[in-house]
Structure 1
């Protein structure tokens, strides 16, 4: 089971958290009560790269192509 820790607390105690992770503990990092990250020992997280990539590609194949024209560099980096 993951131990919940706020982002601020994780920042203050990062060295201790890493020592605990090395010993097998895992943490769920929250920000304003919402989960934002999980810190787990390397062997405990599943490798979802191929599964995630395949799911994304399958979803993209179902999407119609839309011609939106050319964008300028400024439009590409415009912040909204």
Structure 2
């Protein structure tokens, strides 16, 4: 881990980005007055950044609209404080 002052980071930004991008540095901390304020890290490609559709396919029963709405009246009564 490398720590760089804000003024140095401004003048050497291209080289710092290249170091992180190439893997020469895993991360670079940018500090202001000796206190860390930002972290320069590479952007990971791939992974789980996209949506995964169908992840729970087959794990729950298929509901019809009638099945889904079956408890609406009971739920409404409970929300009104009735039927405890």
TM-score (norm 2): 0.48
The structure whose Rg is larger is: 2
Write 1 or 2 for the structure with the bigger share of helix: 1
TM-score w.r.t. the length of structure 1 is 0.50
